[in-house]
């Protein structure tokens, strides 16, 4: 019995949890899906690496006017590009996914150590590891998200060593100082927001001196202590900052101005992205105040929420007995709450739910585990503890089952408190990474075989077909699919308007297979067959009205929900000034998609052609409410405004 207890020590269980996690990550990495962000950041990473290999002659990584990627340090993305180049690795995305798995494992390791630092128990460390593995929004992005996961790793590591320094201040070891330097440098190298760790360290020291004023007296009266603190402080600032810039070409062009430009850009990202929230289309640059809080509430597993409730309850109790533990827990809580409050206060451009705020989740999980330990620690008898233990671990089954059933799209998770995934579909962002495409592309490749085919997709994931010379990739928006030439189409439903999803007007009659995620349509496979729709649109472009209209009507018989065909038919009627028939087409189109921007634009153009500028302006205002970033409307808007101004003058 004693031998068993010696084996199953808390520290050994923590180590075992890390080993099991490592094996699990290594097993899943080759099976992970490539996401659309990887297709954006990895080509840039290769350009960054080439900048170093050419001594700065290839400056393409510094010219990113559309993507703004030069503002990202993205050191882990760059690392994978370097590894692939040096070792001539053919399967580049496999390297990325193993690298992502490694940094997620480091996140587990540092989070576990943070749990130990705050509880003095390796049991907490092991429970933190388990809890993070059962946090789908985090674990589900372990392989392909090489920005947010590594940033979270650096953030947690930085907090860990800051707390260690505070606990031993002012006699902290140089070992902890060096580790903090490396943590800060790494976090900055991923994203400039890592600068916040400097602020945390400063705030922690100031708060500690307020709580323990005798420390300040000791420091001031001890010359050797002052000298050592100044040396350590300089090491942290200089080392943490400048080491973080070494793998970031844009920052190296101006080491003080460019990182600050990046920080400003990150806080107020210039590109506004369409989002679905509460069943409505909103824009990431104009989010409602409750956006982030709501997302945390619906995407956090119930067992973590329960632990956080316990934590807050016991934290209020600890105010009656203030001490170091209260100070450290409040400090950790601050590092969860402050970033959330800050981005809400400054109106940051956020998108894809909590993705940009994933770095606070591990600390949140640590606090949840502390809350759970506090709860069971109240009771002396094992029988009294049992109901709370059963509740906590029973709730873990929910995300566990979800992850097991939905990998590699397990990051799309909504807790049962919010109604689960079934209720979230068409009400919130779903598979924004388009990871559901992996299984669909595998099936389609088998379907095509050795035949030649063009595959259309509404996401940039051509990598799935790169090894197949007989398959050509074609990007198109789902609704505009009739304007391009393709044989098979794979379309994710994430960016289809929620009205269409709720009213079942989005499906093509040519869908041959639908891929589901917890009962919700995720991806559809379409076999086009005849290309009457493509021919019809070409005839309209060539101003062959009769032929085009005839073909459109034929195409609509086989695909009545094809709203893009009605847009082209409406344009034909507009060009021929057949306004009564145009109104009929618009009416029919709006039964399929009442918020489709081209219908507003065509209607406004009709009123403009009829010299009814007030009516045109009214329609344009409605369009602006639907989509304030719809660029095709600019020219007509300027013309209408000019006419209205001339009329007033």
HEC sequence for 141-167: CCCCCCCHHHHHHHHHHHHHHHHHHHH
Measured N-to-C along each axis, helices 563-575 and 545-558 cross at an angle, to the nearest 10 degrees, of 160
Q: How many CA atoms lie within 13 A of 553 on its CB side?
A: 8
pLDDT-based confidence at residue 322 (cuts at 50, 70, 90): confident
Using only C-alpha atoms, the chain has a radius of gyration, in whole angstroms, of: 28
Task: Name the β-bridge partners of 488.
Answer: 455, 527
Q: What's the whole-model pTM score?
A: 0.95
Residues with Cβ within 8 Å of residue 408, at least 6 apart in sequence: 28, 31, 32, 33, 140, 143, 435, 438
* pLDDT of the residue at 316: 87
The tokens of 619 are what?
Answer: 């329609």
Predicted local confidence at residue 259, as pLDDT: 97
pLDDT at residue number 381: 66
Would you place residue 4 in the very low, low, confident or very high pLDDT band (cuts 50, 70, 90)? low
Q: What is the pLDDT of residue 318?
A: 86
- 501 and 359, same domain (yes or no): no
pLDDT given for residue 145 in this prediction: 97
The per-residue DSSP string of 192-225 comes to GGGGHHHHHHHHHHHHHHHH-HHHHHHHHH-HHH
DSSP 271: -
The rounded Cα 644 to chain-centroid distance in angstroms is: 44
Residues 6+ apart with CB under 8 A from 258: 250, 251
Structurally, the chain folds into a number of domains equal to: 3
Side-chain-side CA neighbours of residue 84 (13 Å): 23
The three-class DSSP label of residue 449 is coil
Residues in the chain, total: 649
What pairing do the DSSP bridges indicate for beta strands 471-475 and 453-457? parallel
Rounded to whole angstroms, the Cα distance separating 45 from 393 reads 41
- Please tell me the predicted confidence (pLDDT) of residue 648: 75
- Residue 414 in any domain: the answer is no
Cβ atoms of residues 171 and 219 within 8 Å: no
- 431 falls within a domain: no
DSSP class of residue 425?
B
Handedness of CA 318, 323, 326, 327 (dihedral sign): positive
In a domain, 420, yes or no: no
Tokens of 120: 């003095």
pLDDT at 559: 96
In a domain, 425, yes or no: no
pLDDT digits (tens, 9 = 90+) for 548-565: 999 999 999 999 999 999
Mean pLDDT, residues 14-28 taken together = 98
Based on the fold, state whether residues 451 and 334 are members of the same structural domain.
no
Looking at the DSSP bridge assignments, the partners of residue 330 are: none
| Parent domain of 555 | 539-648
* Domain stops at, among 501, 527, 553: 527
CA distances from 538 to 454, 456, 482, 528 (A): 19, 18, 10, 17
pLDDT at position 395: 97
Residues 456 and 309 in one domain: no
What mean pLDDT comes out for the span 126-147?
Answer: 98
Q: What is the pLDDT of residues 482-501, one digit of tens each?
A: 999 999 999 999 999 999 99
Lowest mean pLDDT among 1-5, 266-270, 526-530: 1-5
Say what the pLDDT of residue 270 is: 78
Structure tokens at 213: 């004023």
Instruction: Give the relative orientation of helices 92-119 and 10-28 as an angle to the nearest 10 degrees.
Output: 160
**CA quadruple 94, 97, 99, 105: dihedral sign:** negative
Domain assignment present for residue 532? The answer is: no
Quick one: 388 and 463 in the same domain? no
**Other CB atoms within 10 Å distance of the CB of residue 611:** 9
| Distance, first Cα to last Cα, the chain | 97
By the 8 A CB rule, do 179 and 161 touch?
yes
Give the distance from CA 562 to its chain's centroid: 31
Q: What are phi and psi of 152, to 5 degrees?
A: -60, -35
Of 17-21, 318-322, 366-370, 508-512, give the lowest mean pLDDT range. Answer: 318-322
Q: Which CATH number covers residue 612?
A: 1.25.40.10
Does 178 reside within a domain?
yes
Percent of the chain with pLDDT over 70: 98
Q: Are residues 66 and 197 in the same domain?
A: yes
Q: What's the confidence (pLDDT) of residue 3?
A: 65
The residue among 505, 527, 549 that closes a domain is 527
Task: Kindly state whether residues 489 and 586 are assigned to the same domain.
Answer: no
> Across the chain, what does the average pLDDT equal?
95
Residue 423 lies in a domain: no
426 contact partners, CB below 8 Å, separation of at least 6 = 276, 279, 498, 501, 502
Together in a domain, 250 and 375: yes
Assess whether 518 and 584 both reside in one domain.
no
Q: pLDDT tens for residues 273-289?
A: 999 999 999 999 999 98
Same domain, 253 and 370: yes
285: tokens are 């640059």
| Residues 582 and 570: beta-carbon distance below 8 Å | yes
Query: In this structure, are residues 562 and 555 in contact, taking their beta carbons and an 8 Å threshold?
Result: yes
Q: Which of 507, 527, 547 is the last residue of a domain?
A: 527
**Res. 126 pLDDT band, cuts 50 70 90:** very high
- What CA–CA distance (Å, rounded) separates 627 from 644? 22
> What is the pLDDT, as a whole number, of residue 517?
97
The answer as to whether 430 is a domain residue is: no
Q: Going by DSSP bridges, is the β-strand pair 471-475/520-527 parallel, antiparallel, or unpaired?
A: unpaired
Query: Angle of helix 196-211 relative to helix 324-345, nearest 10 degrees?
Result: 140
Q: Is the pLDDT of residue 29 over 60?
A: yes
What is the per-residue pLDDT across 396-444, written as a single tens digit (0 to 9) for each? 999 999 999 999 999 999 999 999 999 999 999 999 999 999 999 999 9
Instruction: Assess whether the previous peptide bond of 31 is cis (omega < 30° from 0).
Output: no
Spatial separation of the C-alpha atoms in residues 72 and 147, rounded to whole Å: 9
Q: Which two tokens stand for residue 249?
A: 């070409």
d(CA 327, CA 349): 32
The count of other CB atoms within 10 Å of the CB of residue 80 is 27
The fraction of the chain above a pLDDT of 90, given in percent, is: 92
Task: Identify whether residues 345 and 491 lie together within a single domain.
Answer: no
Question: What average pLDDT does range 67-85 have in this prediction?
Answer: 97
Let me know the angle formed at the C-alpha of 588 by 426 and 595, rounded to the nearest 5 degrees: 40
- The mean per-residue pLDDT over the stretch 157-167 comes to 98
Q: Are residues 257 and 400 in the same domain?
A: yes
- Give every CB contact of residue 611 below 8 A, 6+ residues apart in sequence: none
Q: Do 270 and 388 share a structural domain? A: yes
């Amino acid at each position: 019995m004693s031998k068993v207890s010696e084996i199953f020590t808390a520290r050994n269980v923590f180590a075992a949890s890390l080993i099991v996690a490592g094996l699990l990550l290594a097993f899943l990495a080759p099976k992970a899906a490539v996401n659309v962000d990887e297709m954006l950041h990895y080509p840039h990473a290769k350009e960054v690496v080439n900048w170093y290999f050419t001594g700065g002659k290839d400056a393409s990584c510094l010219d990113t006017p559309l993507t703004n990627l030069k503002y990202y340090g993205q050191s882990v993305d760059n690392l994978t590009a370097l590894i692939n180049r040096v070792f001539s690795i053919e399967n580049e995305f496999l390297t990325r996914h193993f690298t992502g798995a490694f940094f997620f494992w480091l996140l587990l390791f540092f989070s576990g150590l943070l749990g130990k630092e705050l509880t003095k128990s390796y049991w907490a460390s092991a429970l933190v590891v388990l809890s993070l593995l059962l946090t789908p929004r985090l674990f589900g992005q372990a392989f392909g998200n090489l920005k947010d996961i590594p940033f979270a790793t650096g953030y947690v590591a930085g907090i860990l060593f800051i707390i260690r320094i505070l606990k031993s201040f002012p006699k902290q070891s140089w070992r902890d100082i060096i580790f903090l330097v490396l943590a800060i440098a790494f976090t900055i190298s991923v994203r400039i927001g890592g600068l916040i760790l400097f602020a945390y360290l400063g705030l922690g020291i100031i708060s500690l001196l307020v709580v323990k004023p005798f420390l300040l007296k000791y420091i001031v009266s001890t010359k050797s202590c002052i000298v050592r603190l100044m040396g350590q402080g300089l090491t942290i600032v200089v080392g943490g900052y400048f080491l973080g810039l070494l793998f970031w070409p844009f920052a190296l062009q101006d080491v003080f101005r460019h990182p600050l430009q990046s920080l400003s850009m990150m806080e107020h990202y210039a590109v506004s992205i369409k989002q679905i929230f509460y069943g409505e289309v909103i824009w990431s640059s104009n989010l409602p105040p409750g956006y982030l809080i709501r997302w945390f509430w619906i995407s956090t597993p119930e067992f973590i929420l329960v632990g956080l409730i316990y934590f807050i309850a016991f934290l209020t109790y600890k105010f009656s007995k203030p001490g170091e533990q209260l100070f450290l827990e409040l400090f950790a809580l601050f590092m969860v709450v402050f970033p959330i409050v800050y981005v809400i206060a400054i109106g940051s451009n956020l998108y894809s739910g909590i993705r940009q705020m994933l770095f606070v989740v591990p600390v949140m999980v640590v606090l949840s585990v502390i809350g759970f330990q506090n709860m069971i620690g109240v009771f002396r008898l094992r029988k009294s503890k049992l109901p709370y233990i059963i509740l906590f671990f029973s709730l873990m089954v929910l995300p566990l089952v979800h992850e097991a059933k939905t990998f590699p799209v397990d990051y799309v998770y909504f807790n049962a408190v919010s109604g689960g995934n079934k209720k979230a579909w068409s009400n919130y962002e779903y598979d924004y990474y388009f990871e559901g495409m992996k299984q669909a592309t595998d099936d389609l490749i088998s379907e095509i075989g050795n035949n030649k085919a063009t595959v259309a997709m509404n996401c940039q994931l051509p990598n799935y077909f790169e090894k197949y010379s007989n398959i050509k990739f074609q990007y198109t928006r789902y609704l505009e699919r009739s304007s391009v030439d393709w044989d098979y189409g794979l379309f994710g439903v994430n960016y289809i308007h929620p009205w269409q999803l709720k009213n079942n007007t989005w499906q093509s009659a040519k869908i041959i297979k639908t891929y589901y995620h917890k009962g919700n349509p995720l991806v559809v496979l379409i076999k086009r067959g005849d290309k009457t729709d493509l021919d019809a649109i070409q005839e309209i472009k060539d101003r062959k009205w009769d032929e085009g209209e005839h073909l459109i009507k034929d195409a609509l018989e086989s695909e009545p929900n094809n709203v893009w065909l009605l847009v082209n038919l409406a344009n034909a009627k507009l060009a021929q000034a057949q306004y009564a028939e145009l109104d009929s087409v618009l009416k029919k189109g709006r039964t399929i998609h009442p918020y489709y921007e081209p219908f507003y634009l065509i209607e406004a153009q009709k009123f403009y052609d009829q010299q009814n500028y007030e009516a045109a302006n009214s329609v344009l205002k409605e369009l602006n409410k639907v989509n304030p970033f719809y660029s095709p409307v600019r020219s007509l808007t300027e013309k209408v405004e000019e006419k209205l101004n001339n009329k007033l003058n």
